[in-house]
Amino acid sequence: MLVVFIGGGLLSFAVFVYSGFIKNIPLEVEEAALIDGANKFQLFWKILFPLLRPATATIVIFLSLWIWNEFLLPLILLGPGNGVTITLGVYMSLGQLYSINYGQMFAMMMIASLPMLALFVAFQREFIAGLVSGALKG
């Protein structure tokens, strides 16, 4: 079921973003590479793939956040005894509603958000370029 979720929901988002980026690449770039003697593999690997770095960074950040913050699917599929994800661990460690230790809860949420924050900092330049690349025409 998890594979269906990743294949159906997340992969469709990646295809949507990549198709939008590839449509914005001028056809003259591909024609020039083919005229210069590049084959289809070289065209993709050396010309198109470096142009898709902002799209790839955007997809990696968005999909990582969606998978990282998934709550309901692991709760239903894994159950309480078969292991937990980070978001389920924070939820299950809260205890009873009348005895919440807010300091411990906020510390766990901060630690749980550090990997995603590091991922964003690593891909920040490409992420911002991917968000604003379609904003200007020309």
Domain boundaries, the chain: 2-132
Over the Cα atoms of the chain, what is R_g? 21
Q: Does the domain made of 2-132 have the CATH classification 1.10.3720.10?
A: yes
Distances (CA, A) of 11 to 2, 32, 75: 12, 31, 22
Cα-based angle 117, 54, 23 (whole degrees, multiple of 5): 145
At 134, is the pLDDT very low, low, confident or very high (cuts 50, 70, 90)? low
Does pTM top 0.85 for this prediction?
no
How far apart are the C-alpha atoms of 128 and 48, rounded to whole Å? 19
12-19 mean pLDDT:
86
